[in-house]
Each structure stands twice: as C-alpha cells, then as structure tokens.
Amino acid sequence: MSLDAWLSLSVVLAAFPLMAFSRLGPDIVLLGAVIVLLTLGVIEPSQALGGFSSTGLFTVAFMYVLVASIRETGGIDLIIRYVLGRPRGESGALARLLLPVAALSGFLNNTPIVATYIPAVLSWSRRLRLPAQRLLMPLSFASILGGTITLFGTSTNLVVHGLLLERHPELAMGLFDIAWVGVPVAVVGLLYLMLLGPRLLPVRRDVGTAFENPREYTIEMEVDPAGPLVNRTVEEAGLRHLRELFLVEIERDGNVVSVVGPGERLKGGDRLVFAGTSDGAVELQQIRGLMPSRHGESSLEKDFKERRLVEAVVSDQCQFVGQRIRDGHFRTLYGAAVLAVCRGGERVAGNLGQVRLQPADVLLLEARPPFIERHRQSRDFLLISQLNGQARPIHEKAPLAWGILLGVVALASFGVMSMMNAAMLGAALALITGCCSVGAAKRGLDTQVLLTIAASFGLGAALEASGAAATLSGLALGLADGDPWLLLIGTYLLVALLTELVTNNAAAVITFPVVMASAESLGVNPMPFVVVVMFAASASFLTPIGYQTNLMVHGPGGYRFSDFLRVGGLLNVLTAAVALPLIPLIWPF
C-alpha cells in the first residue's frame, strides 16, 4: 500500500474506537479525521467537502423538515389516540402498538416517532396494568424494522442510495424497491416481538414506580413563625449550600415558589421541600427556625399551576454526561431542579449533587411551565412525561401535513421527480402552509446526524482515492475465496458489528467504497451488496448505544445491557436469516 493508503487506514481505524468509547460525538470525531487527512494531503478540499453537496444528505435534511411539520401539527398524537385504545391482553396491546409504529417508520424518521410514543405508552401501560418493559423495547425495535421498508425509512438508506447514484446513476432504485426484502424482514421481526419477545424480557421496576413515592427522595420542613429565619433570604438562612440536600421549592399560602433563588425571603409557616438523602434530615433539624412539616400529604403530590414535574432521559449528547449534578450547575443552566435520578429501573441513592450523569439516566425535574416549551426538542435530554405535550399542536393542520408527506411519497414513487426534489418541494410547502414554522424546522434538523454523514463521505473518499479500499477489497476477496455468497455474508456481519459500535450512517458510508470495490473486482452485480449494507446498518438491536431509539427506551423501561443482547441478539439473527437469502433473489449476482 502507498503511504496515503496507510494514513487513510490508520485515521479511519483510530476514528472507530473514538466514536465508540469516547464522549466526543461522532460528528466531531469524523470531522476531526477529515481535517487530519486534508492537512496531510491525502484528500483534496473538494473530496473533504464532497459530502456537503451529496443529494442523500440534502434529502435527509428536507425529510427532517417534513417530520417536524407532522410533529408540530400533532399528526402522530392523533394516530396514537385512535389506535392504542383498550386491548384485551398483552398480545393485543403489542399488535396495536407495533404495527402502526412500523408503518409510520417506513416514511418518517424513527426518533420523533419513538419520542412521541414513549410518554403515551408509559401512561397507557399504567392504565392497562402492563409492565412498561414489555412494550418499550419492542417499540424501538419495531421503528427500526419499519425503517427497512422504504428508501425514506432511514437516513442510512437515503445516504447509501445517494452514494450509489454518484457511482452508478443507471442503478437508481425506486422508493419501494427494498420493500421486497424489507416487508418480509419486518413481518418476521414483528411476529417475533409479539410472540416470543415478551417472554425474554424480565419484569422489573420501571421509572414510574421508582418515582411514585415523593417521600423517598424529598424531605419537608416548615419555617417556625416565631423563629430567627423569618424575613431572611435563603442564602442568609444557610439553606443555599447544604451538604447532602438542596432546596427545591417553597409552598406558601396555597401557592408554590419553584426553583428557588438565593434571594428568596422566607416567611413564617413556609413549607420547604428539599431533595437529597435521608441523612440530610439530621442536618436540617440542627438549623434553628426549621421544624418538621406537620402536613400529612407531600407537597409534590399537589398540583400547582406554577410548577411542572417532568421526567427526562439524558441523551448521549448531553453536556452534563460524566459530570456531577452540582458541579455542572444544572439548575442554573436549565432553570430546573433535579429531584431524583433513576438508572436501570432503580433510583440512585446517596448524595444527589454527587451523582455523575450517564446516558439513558432518567431525571425527575421540577421546573416552571416555560421550561416545557423551551426544552421540548432539547439535544441534551428527551422529555418523556405527559407534560411534553403542554405546547398545543396545530391539530387542524395535521391532515394537510400528512397530505404533503403522501404527495412527496407519490411524486418520488412514480418517478415524477427525484427523491431530493420531492422532499425539497414538500419541505417548502410545509413552511408556506404554516404546518411548520421556520424555528421548528431549524430545531428539527438533527445537525449531528447531518455532519456525521457529510464527514463520513470525506473518509470514504480518502479510502478510495488512496487505494486503501482496493487493498481491503483484495483482502476481503481472499477471505471469501472469490465466492460472492461468502462476501455478502461477510459484508453483513462487518457492517452489523460496526453499526453497534458507531452510528449506522458512519458504518455504512465508510464501508461502502470497500464493498463496492470488492464487488467490482469480483465482476458481479454490486446491487446485492448495496442493499445488504442498508439492512445491516439498520440492524441495531444488540446494544442500547447502537441506535438512538434504543437509548431513549433504555432508561424509562429500566432495561439492562443484557436485555438488549438477549432480545436483540435473536432478532439480529432472524433479520440476517430472512434478508441474506432474499437479497440475491431480487438482485442476482
């Protein structure tokens, strides 16, 4: 291999463990890798920036706007309301949940679908008296399976198809071409999730039961009307820097002061709610002017219009991951107080301020009403409580938003215009008709995914231009002994493994040039290998970190890593067992 090929290979191999095990986002790692290769002269500026002009990237971006229009008009909420209903048993509940989710995921991005369904499913499971664990992991997996039905189903499908068009324009695929394989894969996967999946899932406490008793994580005291704390500020009273507790709210004359500031003045009879450890109660009782609350009911069990209790899942993009809650100034940054943290279905005990946040942790937050609207689409966490719906969607425009999406699908399906053109027209109509505001469209763009895709193109170009892809394809052909079947199986296994460690888009785009070079060297039709890359990149069932929707349900469902391995491992095998024999039948070698 040439020096450029060695450099390309070294940078790519270094990027994978960095994406898998460091706290840096995949977009940062891949952009950094592209900058290194550009600086070393391995790729030209046009190659480094080639991803930013990809039709696949722009199609994904426009689809995000269409998804935002469905979300803003409450289009998914309407489906949830009419479809979930009251099933007779667990299998009926799973059918009502999984079939619509898989169908929706064929045309919409998975993440907003799952984000909208989670709070509905949590309350629905409580009403049906079904454990949430039996529903949430199947919800995520159904959305992934549904994404394999159409080219619109996942960003990975669109990006891989864009790469194919750049290399072989004559091999352009129709919107529903992969449905020949995607529908059987989805049917087998959904049957498995409905019939066998629930038996493999244990029944544990979920986030709802972990937070159900406020007395387990709060302590309430009253300000003595005749004591020395009356008319003193919180800071002056020494309540600002307690060791194992912090003051969350003050209940006063039937109203509540939430997210208390240091300058708030105390009054006689104020009821103070502290979050923290039970050991902290000893510290409170030593403060003159405070006495144990005489009320029987916990303040958190009351409804106040000035307060919202919100459950939120920490995302892997949260700036607080790895930091202690107290050190990160969570309260100052977000205007919300952390009341409790749940991890793996169990509430984290001990000093709350010393807890280091991890992805998939579920936080119980107390905040003011504007917090809901401000952080409904936060990159740092996902709001999962029913209060997520406080901002009223424009329901009267939901049919119009769905009509625009169906129009885009029709235009792309019948070849009236390209997928990018149809998506662009649909996004413009969504903005013009008011189904989606410009602000909502901007918030709906997942910039991390878009940057990851664009940077992956640069690494793929480096592997191809330097000759590293050709060398690797030679090794692959040697291992496959020139057999296209062995090469197809090897491609599936490699991409499926990489997609669990890094993002599915990065796994697909970086391996694409190697796979194409292998197919071309073998002198066979490259289409089976292109489709295998799509399916293998989507088969993210093994770990909670492999795919965003898995991470989203991990915390609320109280799952453990082993649960994903047990249920997702067999689903991965089933997906491969259905897809691998079918693909060469539809697209022969």
Q: pLDDT for 66-82, tens place per residue?
A: 888 887 887 777 777 77
Task: Name the residue among 505, 462, 512 with its Cα closest to residue 491.
Answer: 512
What is the CB neighbour count within 10 angstroms for residue 492?
22
What residues contact residue 254 under an 8 Å CB cut-off, 6+ apart?
A: none
Helix H or strand E encompassing 496: helix 484-501
| pLDDT given for residue 280 in this prediction | 66
Residue-level pLDDT at 299: 66
Check: CB of residue 337 under 8 Å from CB of residue 246.
Answer: yes
46-65 burial, b at 16+ Cβ within 10 Å, e below that, comes to ebbbbbeebbbbbbbbbbbb
Question: What pLDDT is stored for residue 281 in this prediction?
Answer: 66
Q: Which two tokens stand for residue 134?
A: 């039996």
Angle (deg, nearest 10), helices 447-465 and 3-21:
150
pLDDT for the residue numbered 417: 87
pLDDT by residue (tens digit) across 495-515?
Answer: 888 888 777 888 888 888 888
The closest of 149, 503, 535 to 316, measured between CA atoms, is 503
Give the pLDDT confidence score for residue 428 in this predicted structure: 94
Residues in CB range of 135: below 8 A, 6 or more apart: 93, 94, 97, 121, 124, 125
Largest CA distance in the chain: 91
Average predicted confidence (pLDDT) for the chain: 82
Q: What's residue 209's pLDDT? A: 66
Q: Please, which residues bridge with residue 365 across strands?
A: 310, 338
Task: Please give the DSSP secondary-structure letter assigned to residue 291.
Answer: E
Non-local (6+) Cβ contacts of 114 within 8 A are 101, 139, 140, 143, 549, 552, 553
Helix (H, G, I), strand (E, B) or coil at 206: coil
Position 207 scores a pLDDT of 64
State residue 213's pLDDT score: 65
Q: Which ranges of the chain have pLDDT less than 50?
A: 387-391
Residue 347 carries which DSSP code? Answer: E
Euclidean distance between the first and final Cα of the chain, in Å?
29
pTM: 0.79
Q: Residues near 478 by Cβ (< 8 Å), separated by ≥ 6? A: none
* The 271-276 sheet, strands edge to edge: 255-258, 245-252, 271-276, 218-223, 290-292
